[in-house]
Amino acid sequence: MRRIEGGFTNREMMRTVARLQAKGGLRQKRLSWLDDSLQTTETGDVVYFVGCVPFADVLLAGQIEDSVLSVPRAAIQLLNLVGTRPVVLPNEVCCGLDAYLSGDTDTARSLARQNAEMFRTVGAKTILTSCTGGAWMLRNYSALGLDHGCEVMHVAEFLAQRLVGVRLPCGTAVWPSSVSAPDGTQERFELFRLGKIAGPDVVELAKRDAAWVGCEADGWLPRDADTRERIDQLIEKATEAGCERILTLSPRSLTSLKFVMRPDSWVKSGIEVEDLVVHLAGLIEESKK
């Protein structure tokens, strides 16, 4: 495989995966990261939608530190902690977000049809995901003429309603996450959805600022100058607020920030970057010691 710097971009690699999945009939090996410590089931009310993370983990190896598979692992660990054994689909396909927002509705519809059928087959009523962009797409399958009839939530929102006595520490900033739909509307993940987990001292970056950096449908690694500039602005804002860490709400945002925080990057900042649910899992593990 050519290196990303050689012109074979991460955006096109992931879109190629989606187009291949849209053809249907693929038997995937996408659950090797699951181990005996994570309890899942084959049918049930709650589906944890993993998304493109297993593919991104392979395609972006060497580009960032750590594995993005820590995100679904932490999500299932905490779901188990609150008494939920989710269904993890062995052959789920891309949610279709990139294809839909780029105007490739045929690909998006094929992906949505396959996922919706799997949701019905396992008896799902609630779909959880660690990606805000994926959650938006799954909620909006009706725009493609499909209705799976399930409630869709970011897994952090689901956990916030069930975890007791867990709160993000002071010095925490949450990276903004939003999707701009083809009709011009925009949906953001508002911090109030995290309830008591996010106290008043948590900094919500770009809360009222439309000039945020969007990673949801623009590749997994930021490489254009405009995106870099907006990332710089928000990291500077977190630094000025005295934040020690930035927590993300999607694997794409996580990989983007990890990429710009690497030692040879143009960004020089000591702020820690972590997925929000991974951080929650760490807080709970620390409290047990």
- Residue 90 near residue 115 (C-beta atoms within 8 A): no
CA–CA separation, 128 and 92 (whole Å): 13
Burial 131-145 (b: 16+ CB within 10 A, else e): bbbbbbbbbbbebbe
- Residue 261 near residue 267 (C-beta atoms within 8 A): yes
pLDDT tens digit string along 18-54? Answer: 898 999 887 888 899 999 999 999 999 999 999 999 9
pLDDT tens digit string along 140-186? Answer: 999 999 999 999 999 999 999 999 999 999 999 999 888 877 887 77
Q: What percent of the chain has pLDDT over 90?
A: 56
CA–CA separation, 51 and 19 (whole Å): 14
116 closest CA partner among 107, 105, 127:
127
Indicate if the alpha-carbon torsion angle 24, 29, 35, 36 is positive or negative.
positive
9 closest CA partner among 130, 103, 98, 104:
98
* 70 SS3 class: helix
133 closest CA partner among 215, 191, 66, 245:
215
Burial 43-70 (b: 16+ CB within 10 A, else e): ebebbbbbbbbbbbbebbeebbeeebbb
- Give the structural domain span for 192: 4-287
Mean pLDDT of the chain: 86
CA–CA separation, 221 and 40 (whole Å): 31
Q: In terms of pTM, does the model score above 0.85?
A: yes
Count: domains in the chain: 1
* 261 SS3 class: coil
**What single-letter amino acid sits at 210?**
A
pLDDT tens digit string along 60-82? Answer: 877 777 789 999 999 999 999 99
**DSSP-derived secondary structure letter, 168:** P
Indicate if the alpha-carbon torsion angle 278, 284, 286, 289 is positive or negative.
negative
